[in-house]
Structures are given as C-alpha cells and as structure tokens.
Structure 1
Amino acid sequence: MAYSKEEIIAKAREVADMIAETEEVEFFKRAEAQINENQKVREKIASMKSLQKQAVNFQAYGKERALNLIESKIQKIEEEIDAVPIVQEFKQSQSDVNALLQMVSTAIANQVTNNIIVSTGGDLLRGETGSQVKNSTPGNC
C-alpha cells in the first residue's frame, strides 16, 4: 500500500502532538513560564537586549573599544542569567526536548532504511539493498 504525502504529514502531526504531551515538553513549558515570571531574570534579559543594540551600533561605526566594553558587559549578564537555577533547568529541558526530537528523527530514518533493505531482498545485517547484494555476489558479471 502506498501512502500519500498528506497522509504522512497527518501522521507526523499525530507524533508531534504526542511529543507535545511528554514529560520533557511539559517541564520545558513550566520552566519557561517560571523564567518569564522571574523579575530578576526579566530585568537582566532587558538589560542584555539593550546592550546588544548598543553593540550593533558600535560595530556599525567601528568603535572597537566601546564594542569590547559592551561585549564584556553582555557576557557578564549572560553568566549571571545562566547562574539562576531555573535558567539552568530550562536549558537542560531544552536539551532534553531536542534529544527526544533527534531520537524520533533517527528512528524514522533507520526504519525507512530498514524497510527499503527488506523490501528489496537485501541484507539488514550488512545494510545492503537487494541490488547491492545481487551485484556483490562473486561470479555475477
């Protein structure tokens, strides 16, 4: 049975909905909400955005010394933000969600490859399709 692209996209959306209901995504959403509610972090982010705008201007006008000063201030604020426990948890949850997405992507790619190998009469252990197996058999010229 052949599937249409539309049917495959519909299944992909189902999988996406399933992923959105995982512990990893739920934790990510909670951590993000806590960061947005954290006044200290919000103020630091606002300061950093303001400094980043200044940095763009200094860079545009070739003001190297001022740019270096601003960049060091930005780095200090980034370190302060990163030191906040909820930010660390948020970054970890981001990493966990990305790892889950990568696992799903890898599982799909591997299954497609395996299905191609099997459907062409190939060798799963060697990772060769049927045409590769047939053409690699000695004496088959």
Structure 2
Amino acid sequence: MYTKDDILNQARKLGKMMAETEEVDFFKRAEAQIHENQTVREKMASLKSLQKQAVNFQNYGKEKALSMVEEKIKKVEEELDEMPIVSEFKEAQGEVNELLQMVSNSISNTVTNEIIESTGGNQLTGETGAAIENAPNTSGCSH
C-alpha cells in the first residue's frame, strides 16, 4: 500500500522531470523574450488598464463607455496576437499545457484500468467486477 505522501513525492519527482523537458525550456525562453520586449510590456500594461476601466464601467452601468473600452481591448489584443513573439509564447504555453494534460490523462486512465483489472472487470466496457456481478441477467434465461 502507498500513502498519500508517497504519491505526492512521486508527483514532485514527475513535476521536476517535466520541468526539464524541451517544451518547458521553450516556454521559459519565450516568456523571457516577452518580458524583455518593451512593446509587449507597454501593450500588456495598456491592456490591464483598459480591463480595469471595463470592470469599472460595467459596475456603474456605463454601457456606451464599456462598449468603447471593449473595442480598444479587442484592438490591443489583436495587435499583441499579430506579434511573432506573442504567438511563440502562446504556442509554448499550449505545448506545456498539452504535456500536463497528457500526464493527467495517463494517470487517470491507469488508475481506472487498475481498478477495473483488480476487481475482475472488463476494460473494454469500462465496468468493474462489482458492476458485472451486480448486472441484471440479460441472457434470457429464467432461474
């Protein structure tokens, strides 16, 4: 039997391994470039300011002003998205998220399959042994 602490220790080891992958390295480089780029920093600061304005206008029911600020937000977001440095960062972020999702799915599937297998269930149908034992008799035979 393993304890939660055993599992968390293994998760930390796995996390350290993942932090040393090409995907994470690419992400770190892309993030550093983002922070070093004056134009990106200015646009991000502008975007944050506009978003705060939008929240204030929304809270005070200033629909026309809110609409105008939302248009400005959309324009700044489009300008950012057109910058190669930003699209590289988003791509790197997507790859890291994909890696995390892949590991999460693998763990989930392994746990599920182990439960099914250890209870004598059927992996093809996804039923545990308990589900199979308690299933209604559908063979057509009456006892």
TM > 0.5 between the two?
Answer: yes
Q: Percent identity?
A: 62
Q: TM-score under structure 2 normalisation?
A: 0.88
Which 5+ residue runs of structure 1 have no aligned equivalent? none
Distance across 2 between alignment mates of 1:49 and 1:113:
43
Residue matched to 2:75? 76
Secondary structure at 1:112 match in 2: helix
Secondary structure at 1:103 match in 2: helix
Q: CA RMSD in A?
A: 1.9
Distance across 1 between alignment mates of 2:45 and 2:134:
63
Secondary structure at 2:122 match in 1: coil
Which 5+ residue runs of structure 2 have no aligned equivalent? none
Residue 140 of structure 1 and its aligned partner are, at CA, apart by 10
Residue matched to 2:35? 36
Distance across 1 between alignment mates of 2:44 and 2:142:
67
Moved more, 121-130 or 92-101: 121-130
Residue 21 of structure 1 and its aligned partner are, at CA, apart by 0.8
Residue 62 of structure 1 and its aligned partner are, at CA, apart by 2.0
Residue matched to 2:26? 27
Moved more, 82-91 or 114-123: 114-123
Q: TM-score under structure 1 normalisation?
A: 0.90
Distance across 2 between alignment mates of 1:89 and 1:68:
30
1:109 maps to a residue whose letter is S
Runs of 4+ in 1 over 4 A off after TM superposition: 136-141
Listed one character per residue, the Cα deviations across residues 17-51 of structure 1 (whole Å, up to 9, x for unaligned) are: 11111111111111011000000111111111122
- After superposition, residues 53-72 of structure 1 pair within 5 angstroms as 53-72=52-71
Distance across 1 between alignment mates of 2:51 and 2:119:
56
Secondary structure at 2:123 match in 1: coil
Say whether residues 1:126 and 2:125 are aligned partners.
Answer: yes
Listed one character per residue, the Cα deviations across residues 58-100 of structure 1 (whole Å, up to 9, x for unaligned) are: 2222222111111101110010011110110111111111111
1:134 maps to a residue whose letter is E
Distance across 2 between alignment mates of 1:140 and 1:28:
63
Residue matched to 1:8? 7
Residues 58, 123 of structure 1: CA spacing in aligned structure 2 closer, same or farther, 3 A cutoff?
Answer: closer
Distance across 2 between alignment mates of 1:70 and 1:81:
16
